[in-house]
Amino acid sequence: MNAKVLIVDDDRFLAENIKRLLTHHGFDASIAGDANSALRELIAQEFNLMILDLGLPDEDGISFCRQLRAKWLLPVLMLTARSDAMDKVIGLEVGADDYLTKPFDSQELLARVRALLRRTKEYHSGSALPEVTRFGDLEIDYNQRDALVGGKRAGLTRKEFELLAFMAKHANKALQRDWLFEQIWGFDSHFSSNSLDVYLYRLRKKIEADPNEPRYLQTLHGYGYKFVTMPG
């Protein structure tokens, strides 16, 4: 069955071009011109991924993404003409899984779409995962795809959970930065490589008692990161 992608963009010319590109490469693509239309599409049918423009006519894309995350778990690739780095960080903070600035190369868009779908499929298909893994006061709940700290849910986004689960799987091992990025995002990109740091910062804020002095997610300066287990 072809993956279903919802393109949410009021630029009809661009949306149609993206739809033709995705359709040509085997995807089942639909278009919504605004947030309300997108919500109706989401209620009517199930999608595997959303391509979301920040500049929607009826609602800011960041607000819409925050609303989306309250009910749906599908991966979100944000598109925008904005180049402000803060917009990118805010987009990731509210739950976007990746970010692409217009104008963009069609092959890069395809690579990002495929990588998001591949990572989602791999994490959902893992049958050998335990239900819960505990590291001190930190619990990783694979059924709920979330973490608990001291019994309280951390409220992880999809990509935050995938990053934490992958690092926990390789606990106490030094993970080279580019390799870790490749395992989670699946392709090389300057911005997405930087977004690894954003996600680590977000994770630390949610699971560490002191994000500036992390117990679990430690930085190996000049190399990468390590998930360090703590005694139970």
CATH 3.40.50.10320 fits 4-125, yes or no: no
Q: What is the mean pLDDT of residues 159-185?
A: 85
Please provide the DSSP assignment of 149-161 as one string: ETTEE----HHHH
- What is the predicted pLDDT for the residue at 85? 57
| pLDDT value at residue 230 | 62
pLDDT value, residue 41: 92
Above 90 in pLDDT, residue 208? Answer: yes
Q: Is the pLDDT of residue 123 over 50?
A: no
Residue 79's nearest CA partner among 57, 64, 101, 98 is 101
Q: Is the pTM of this model over 0.85?
A: no
Topology of the domain comprising 132-227: Arc Repressor Mutant, subunit A (1.10.10)
pLDDT-derived band at 207 (thresholds 50, 70, 90) equals very high
Q: Please enumerate, as own/partner, the contacts of 181-185 that have beta carbons within 8 Å and a separation of 24 or more.
A: 184/119, 184/159, 185/98, 185/115, 185/119
Residue 108 has pLDDT above 60, yes or no: yes
CA 107, 83, 188, 158 dihedral sign is negative
- pLDDT tens-digit readout, 50-65: 999 888 888 888 888 8
pLDDT digits (tens, 9 = 90+) for 153-171: 998 887 888 889 889 988 8
Domain boundaries, the chain: 4-125, 132-227
**223: how many CB neighbours lie within 10 A of its CB?**
11
* Separation of alpha carbons 167 and 225, rounded Å: 9
